[in-house]
Amino acid sequence: MADLSSERQKVEQYNQASSLENRHVREVVASNPNTPADVLKRLAREGNLATRRAVAENPRTPKEVLNVLAIDPDPEVRLAVAENKLVGSEALSILIKDEHADVRYGVAENHQMADEVLNALAMDENPYVRCRAIKTLQRLSPSAQFLVQLG
């Protein structure tokens, strides 16, 4: 009987290690810029937070996948979308209204954002988000800085 219990423990340990290894492999694949778009799309639907975040951070993730991840239940994933240089206007329209200030801060920090998005964030209720948006605008163009000062 002890041998059977010992064998079950070994099988359980193997299964746990295998599961962790598989999760790690999926995270590595999700973060690889050479991963095909269809694979990134499948990985974005995964239940594992780290894998979804890696897909959101991937510089080659298609906009339609980023749009889906922009409404992810986890703010870490949404923040990764906000910081992705390929994020499109559809996802941004969601993210600039995000309930988590960190996500809005991530949008304000992204130098790829359009002036209109940064101007909207320069009026944000959170002072850190406002300040970050203004600093980003100042770096990008003096005319955008002027618009913020008037607002």
Q: Choose the final residue of a domain: 95, 111, 143.
A: 95
Same domain, 69 and 107: no
For residue 55, what pLDDT is reported? 97
Same domain, 106 and 45: no
Same domain, 83 and 22: yes
Same domain, 14 and 65: yes
Using an 8 Å Cβ cutoff, are 110 and 87 in contact?
A: yes
Q: Which residues contact 82 (CB under 8 A, 6 or more apart)?
A: 92, 95, 98, 103, 104, 106, 107, 110
Same domain, 118 and 135: yes
Same domain, 133 and 150: yes
Q: What is the DSSP letter of 70?
A: T
pLDDT of residue 106 exceeding 60: yes
Is pTM beyond 0.85? Reply is no
Rounded to 10 degrees, what is the CA torsion of 120, 95, 135, 128? 100
pLDDT tens digits for range 38-91: 999 999 998 799 999 999 999 999 999 999 999 999 999 999 999 998 999 899
Same domain, 54 and 122: no
Same domain, 124 and 86: no
Q: What is the mean pLDDT of residues 131-144?
A: 84
Q: Choose the final residue of a domain: 65, 95, 125.
A: 95
Same domain, 74 and 106: no
Same domain, 124 and 51: no
For residue 24, what pLDDT is reported? 85
Query: The domain containing residue 40 runs over which residues?
Result: 1-95
**Domain count along the chain:** 2
Same domain, 34 and 86: yes
Same domain, 41 and 3: yes
